[in-house]
């Protein structure tokens, strides 16, 4: 598949979409997890902050202390990541946990009503980033109002580590989701492109002669294409029919002058001019043969070849031989056939007659004493049923030099001008072979002359048997 492939484009789009969706989902889930953990930490810090506020005691002389230390032992461990601090007016860090050691958390000067709780992210000792909850309370000390700011903080490193661990745990599940989405994309692409594949098979069936139109059982999105193809086929059939009619009219129009020409030749012969009469008769016969051959070409090129046809090669050869053996060329030759009892090919009867007739006439024209006809069959690669029938016609004539054999089958080609003919026989054979998807080959015959091998498709019912 190339970059122009629709399947490749769909896969590229699906891969980009899935990757983007999983990236957004991963980042979103990690962010939601971080916010959830941060809220849980904030709730715990608020609880610690309330416990700290409840433990504040004011002495009669105005000194501030704690009636009890916070229960969490990490507040007593230096740089443990858990800290508390109490500020008063003009005295930041008036009281603080032992875990802060000699560091003072610098609280921002934001307005805060007593009882309210603010959340901050502030720098802590040792370059730590702290999640801080701050609260302001009002007390009476020695008859004077005292405003205190209480703060409890926790290192963000734990939150970052939790997010990293969550992301690591989430990767296998994201990979599983990616696999499921890829399988779903595969099914979607296969299902979506199946109608196009059906159209391709339908067009192939039309080209091979099995069908004449595309069926109407396609999805609505494909039906416009199917309708256009069917309309094109109808227009082509009409054009072919018109061309065939024009060709038939032309041939019919030429037959009358040719008949008149033959009559003129007979009058010349009766009047004592036989040489000129022979020339005219030969010219009329050549023109009539060319007209007949062009009619055959018109039928073959019109696409009228029917792949459902069925005709027996052996029977057709025997019919032709019975006719040829009554002619001067055929009567003098020894005809030998090596063939099975039957060998059916997927050709129309008239087309097979033209093909074999031209081959036999060509062999009879050049053979010295005998012509050998061999019919065989064989399977397609990987199959057991017959897929083709091969017909080989060889003679003991002068043959054709190797350098001239590739030109055999060209229209009007006559390698030897000493023999009568129009040069159309092998060209007609080539046209019939091409029309039915066969193969034509020329080689030196083991009998000394030319060997012509024709490979034709076997009849479908033979293959089924």
pLDDT tens for 178-219 read 999 999 999 998 998 888 888 888 888 887 667 788 888 888
Checking phi first, is residue 418 left (phi over 0); if not, alpha (psi -120 to 50) or beta? alpha
- pLDDT at residue 295 is higher than 80: no
- pTM of the complete model: 0.54
Least confident of 205-209, 372-376, 452-456: 205-209
pLDDT digits (tens, 9 = 90+) for 99-123: 888 899 888 887 777 778 888 899 9
136 close to 113: Cβ distance less than 8 angstroms: yes
Q: Which long-range contacts (CB under 8 A, 24 or more apart) does 363-366 make?
A: 363/393, 363/394, 363/395, 363/397, 363/449, 363/450, 363/452, 364/324, 364/327, 364/329, 364/330, 364/333, 365/329, 365/419, 365/421, 366/395, 366/397, 366/398, 366/419, 366/449, 366/450
| Greater model confidence, 415 or 138 | 138
Give percent helix, percent strand, percent coil of the chain, each to the nearest 5. Answer: 50, 20, 30
List phi, psi (to 5°) of 401. Answer: -55, 150
Give residue 422's pLDDT: 44
Which range has highest mean pLDDT (2-16, 209-223, 374-388)?
2-16
Give residue 420's pLDDT: 47
pLDDT bracket for residue 392 (50, 70, 90): very high
* Structure tokens, 47: 């609880």
- pLDDT at residue 408 is higher than 50: yes
The sign of the dihedral angle between the CA atoms of 377, 383, 387, 388 is negative
Least confident of 300-314, 363-377, 412-426: 412-426
The whole-chain average pLDDT of the chain stands at 83
pLDDT bracket for residue 65 (50, 70, 90): confident
Helix, strand, or coil (residue 64): strand
pLDDT bracket for residue 127 (50, 70, 90): confident
pLDDT bracket for residue 282 (50, 70, 90): confident
pLDDT bracket for residue 31 (50, 70, 90): very high
Tell me what percent of the residues of the chain surpass a pLDDT of 90. Answer: 21
- pLDDT at residue 300 is higher than 80: no
- pLDDT at residue 55 is higher than 80: yes
- pLDDT at residue 246 is higher than 80: no
What distance in Å separates the CA atoms of residue 85 and residue 148, rounded to the nearest whole number? 10
- pLDDT at residue 446 is higher than 90: no
- pLDDT at residue 304 is higher than 60: no
Give residue 298's pLDDT: 64
- pLDDT at residue 293 is higher than 70: no
Across 34-46, average pLDDT: 91
Across 256-284, average pLDDT: 78
């Amino acid at each position: 598949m190339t970059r122009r492939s629709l399947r490749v484009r769909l896969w590229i789009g699906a891969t980009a979409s899935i990757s983007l969706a999983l990236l957004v989902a991963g980042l979103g889930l990690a962010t939601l997890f971080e916010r959830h953990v941060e809220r849980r930490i904030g709730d715990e810090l608020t609880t610690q902050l309330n416990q700290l506020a409840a433990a504040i005691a004011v002495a009669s002389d105005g000194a501030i202390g704690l009636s009890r230390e916070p229960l969490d032992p990490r507040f007593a461990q230096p740089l443990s990541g858990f800290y508390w601090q109490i500020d008063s007016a003009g005295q930041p860090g008036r009281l603080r946990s032992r875990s802060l050691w000699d560091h003072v958390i610098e609280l921002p000067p934001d307005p805060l009503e007593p009882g309210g709780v603010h959340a901050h992210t502030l720098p802590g000792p040792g370059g730590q980033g702290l999640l801080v909850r701050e609260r302001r309370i009002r007390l009476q000390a020695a008859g004077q109002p005292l405003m205190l700011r209480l703060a409890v903080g926790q290192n963000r490193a734990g939150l970052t580590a939790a997010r990293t661990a969550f992301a690591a745990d989430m990767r296998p599940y994201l990979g599983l989701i990616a696999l499921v989405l890829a399988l779903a994309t595969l099914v979607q692409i296969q299902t979506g492109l199946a109608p196009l594949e059906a159209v391709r098979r339908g067009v192939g069936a039309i080209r091979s002669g099995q069908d004449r139109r595309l069926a109407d059982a396609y999805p609505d999105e494909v039906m416009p294409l199917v309708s256009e193809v069917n309309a094109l086929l109808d227009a082509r059939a009409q054009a072919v029919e018109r061309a065939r009619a024009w060709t038939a009219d032309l041939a019919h129009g030429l037959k009358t002058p040719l008949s008149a020409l033959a009559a003129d030749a007979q009058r010349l012969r009766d009047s004592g001019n036989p040489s000129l009469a022979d020339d005219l008769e030969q010219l009329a016969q050549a023109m009539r043969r060319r007209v007949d051959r062009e009619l055959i070409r018109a039928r073959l090129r019109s696409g009228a070849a029917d792949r459902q046809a069925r005709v027996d090669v052996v029977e057709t050869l025997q019919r032709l031989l019975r006719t040829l053996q009554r002619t001067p060329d055929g009567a003098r030759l020894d005809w030998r056939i090596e063939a099975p009892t039957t060998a059916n090919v997927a050709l129309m009867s008239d087309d097979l007659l033209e093909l074999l007739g031209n081959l036999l006439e060509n062999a009879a024209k050049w053979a010295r004493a005998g012509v050998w006809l061999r019919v065989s069959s064989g399977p397609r690669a990987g199959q057991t049923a017959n897929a083709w029938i091969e017909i080989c016609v060889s003679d003991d004539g002068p043959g054709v030099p190797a350098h001239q054999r590739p030109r055999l089958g060209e229209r009007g080609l006559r390698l030897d001008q000493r023999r009568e003919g129009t040069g159309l026989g092998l060209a007609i054979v080539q046209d019939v072979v091409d029309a039915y998807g066969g193969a034509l080959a020329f080689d030196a015959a083991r009998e000394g002359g030319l060997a012509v091998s024709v490979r034709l498709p076997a009849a479908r019912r033979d293959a089924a048997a």
